[in-house]
Structure 1
């Protein structure tokens, strides 16, 4: 059935707005539905950026960009392409936090997302069929919004996380926006504010646990596999009790990965590999303290452990290099309330003379004397001056990554870490940080943002038609990213800048894709991965509709 003019103008994948040519307006019955002037995409982008710049707050800027996204995907991604460094913190972290908190008040459009309800499990397949409207889906980002970093449980509002992640996938790596699907699992919420908010749009009951929950997840996996057999499934912001369980159940059966467990781990590994390149030290010689042993903290630890084993250590030897500190202090084998992930990295009290006193970060740092310290605790200011100076007293180039975000939850500021260590610290933060000028040297601060990694990783997996995601691919991705550092430049960052995101996302995609081919995990015959990546890359340009 032919589309009528309003169908075209209201479809963000087809709409060109004022850029429809006179011939197209004639062919598709658009005469008189638009002003007479035919604009180029360049002209539209300049006009839209002017409107964006007139907004006074980051949230207003995000709302404006979402309106562009809802009406014209090509124009939106052209704007992202032109202003990627400026727009990244607007469309995603940290401004997305404000959007999530005000989702109910700001809701205008579902933005092509699929909403799966634990109360209507029989509707899973129909929902996944309805939401994309017949589009060829190759990438799904799914969240249940229980464990949003720095925010916690935000119920159905967390759909903005999935939408934002997919925006970055397209802007950074060039995944065709018509081939992606954001999904939110609405299993209820334990957020009392939402449960008592008359405007809340999700299921108004506490989170469903156990068999009913896992049955919904299974229905989702089965239905998505049936409807979209070539899709990569990306899990995002699931809670501590479910994230690892879900990944372990499905990672050997379908093409899938969890960004909080694996994505965070590989970007941090890349940052540490970059730091080792600068300090000219070996990863296998490091003592690593993780402060905040939740999903992200344990995921980072597992990724670093895997890399130490790849570099020649036995599992037993490698585990001795890690020290997890959580709310109970340094974690021991008799510590109460350990998660399964934490139990793999506990120590015996006999290793420390004063083990009963190691109940806080400062005591743990004194006892462990770490050379690398990573914060995923959401405890603002936890990396105090006394702690940092204690760490720096025992290592020449302390590697310190305060990763918690948003800004108000960061364990330390980059400028303080540089000052407290007299310029010796190798720093990466979870949020963008300005360069630090100290004693005549400008220190560039790497951002250990998953956005540096997952777009290229995911694109490489999709372009190579991978049937599985494994540790070898993740390691290759980390080495590719960690290798892009300038070891000769004083104050060089341990990670490449977001400004070069599209450039190194392409590199990562090719490296990951080649790993897939080398392991013979590709579904389709591919001989040249660079060609496969190039041919699949989408560009923000207007093309013929061919309706």
Structure 2
């Protein structure tokens, strides 16, 4: 392959028709592109017109992914111009369709690293090959056992890691040449995939136990060795592994689990935003988590930590929580509890008839929650009767049906507003239209992790953090929860995605300052804001150098 061909095939170097005549001569590109030299703005106008011509959102995503594969700078320049429109296409909910059809649609590995549990000795070489000499500062890894609300999708789940990194760059300005998506292919228990002749992953059941743990350990140690400055972001691991992995490695390097901490932080920020509107204290709330998996317990844990920051003991904080899963209310003698669930169980002696608390309606009637959080993936389970029962015992019920994609949501925002006569403070897991009720327009906040993790991750990177602490998580949640207009009737409890880049910058600065205040920075840094500004990447063409 000639030098010119390598440049045109390298998405981090390629400018396409924007290479000047002088660059074309110097790089050996003369005659390899149409004569006209375009500006990046002209390229973006042309590309957006093609985008609009596509028949549906999945085709639009495939078109955008082609640009991503060919020219990273143009992709992010275009995404900067159309952030709100592109977010649900490059990530949730359209990414769910792309994952389900990954085998049929596959054309490009998108610079991801594919680690096989069957080849533990190849872990370091895999990461090194995928990085290709790039200075990796951020790694997003998934084993795809718990993809969104969809479950186990094997190697197809790599699209989650790729999409997450797109949002990091678009929202916070992380250099796309410094990121790496990683798939840990541990097999799959998805029988549809195993029976699919086009499936691209390991064709066996998921490996568990020691063999799995060894690969994770090889992976983390290789990241520490090859990319010593990198933040490690775990994504969509199953409930049996997610918390255990985070607990094992969180004090070894700067690491973050988005499903446990990210979801928890966004929901906490939404609750803080809601309480800013209702003028109530978090210490006076009763929390009911419907869906006690990785996300549900991560949320509960984050809120518990916030209650402790507010002055409660751990035992006092736990008394504010009720967790409901498939079995109903979780008690300390419930069989098959995960380690995360054990922190939020109740005792049967607290209730006159504990044997009746086997469903959400019964628990709501018994405990009168003021905050109802849904991560159950059980559509329509926040019924009118349940919501009206809750609203009868609290003036401003806080209700967050967070399951996604759309078809899995526990309730619609419009119904929640109507059933509570406009009193509910609502955030949803998927984008929701404004709701007009009795002359008031209600903006509906989206409990989207993208509101939190780009700014959080960027701040940790800018501050060269050695680890992520509860203090830093709280600082980030308060910063996000404070960006609400409490004077506006129908105000959203979370800021809109339209201002994502703006408040990601604010979050990054708050996070970086928190790291510095705790003395957890590797490099000497005196000014958090300057550190964030110095690291920020913007999508514009620079000088191309090629060894």
Q: TM-score, normalised by structure 2?
A: 0.99
Distance 2:3 2:142 in 1: 35
Partner of 1:148: 147
Please state whether the residue corresponding to 1:131 is helix, strand or coil: helix
Tell me if 1:139 matches 2:133. Answer: no
- Once the two structures are TM-superposed, the CA of residue 139 in structure 1 deviates from its matched residue by 0.2
- Once the two structures are TM-superposed, the CA of residue 511 in structure 1 deviates from its matched residue by 0.1
- Once the two structures are TM-superposed, the CA of residue 149 in structure 1 deviates from its matched residue by 1.9
Equivalences for 1:72-471 in 2 at 5 Å? 72-471=71-470
Partner of 1:520: 519
Structure 2 runs not aligned, ≥5 long: none
Distance 1:64 1:235 in 2: 28
- Deviation digits for residues 53-111 of structure 1 (CA, Å, limit 9, x no counterpart): 00011100000000000000000001110000000000000000000000000000000
Distance 1:533 1:274 in 2: 25
Distance 2:491 2:413 in 1: 14
- Once the two structures are TM-superposed, the CA of residue 546 in structure 1 deviates from its matched residue by 3.0
Distance 1:129 1:482 in 2: 39
- Deviation digits for residues 21-42 of structure 1 (CA, Å, limit 9, x no counterpart): 1111111111110001100000
Deviates more, 1:216-225 or 1:336-345: 336-345
The number of residue pairs the alignment matches comes to 546
Partner of 1:482: 481
- Once the two structures are TM-superposed, the CA of residue 338 in structure 1 deviates from its matched residue by 1.1
Partner of 2:495: 496
Distance 2:440 2:314 in 1: 40
- Once the two structures are TM-superposed, the CA of residue 3 in structure 1 deviates from its matched residue by 6.5
Q: Quote the RMSD (CA, aligned, Å).
A: 0.7
Structure 1 runs not aligned, ≥5 long: none
Q: Give the 3 Å change call, closer, same or farther, for CA 328–231 of structure 1 in structure 2.
A: same
Distance 1:386 1:352 in 2: 22
- Deviation digits for residues 371-410 of structure 1 (CA, Å, limit 9, x no counterpart): 0000000000000000000000000000000000000000
Distance 2:357 2:2 in 1: 68
- Deviation digits for residues 152-187 of structure 1 (CA, Å, limit 9, x no counterpart): 000000000000000000000000000000000000
- Once the two structures are TM-superposed, the CA of residue 462 in structure 1 deviates from its matched residue by 0.3
Equivalences for 1:32-47 in 2 at 5 Å? 32-47=31-46
Distance 2:344 2:530 in 1: 42
Partner of 1:18: 17
Distance 1:111 1:429 in 2: 31
Q: Which runs of 4+ in 1 moved over 4 A?
A: none
Distance 1:350 1:73 in 2: 59
Distance 2:336 2:281 in 1: 34
- Once the two structures are TM-superposed, the CA of residue 524 in structure 1 deviates from its matched residue by 0.3
Partner of 2:529: 530
- Once the two structures are TM-superposed, the CA of residue 132 in structure 1 deviates from its matched residue by 1.3
Distance 1:469 1:426 in 2: 30
Distance 1:149 1:97 in 2: 8
Please state whether the residue corresponding to 1:484 is helix, strand or coil: coil
- Deviation digits for residues 448-507 of structure 1 (CA, Å, limit 9, x no counterpart): 000000000000000000011111110000000000000000000000000000000000
Partner of 1:67: 66
Q: Give the 3 Å change call, closer, same or farther, for CA 417–13 of structure 1 in structure 2.
A: same
- Deviation digits for residues 230-259 of structure 1 (CA, Å, limit 9, x no counterpart): 000000000010000100000011110100
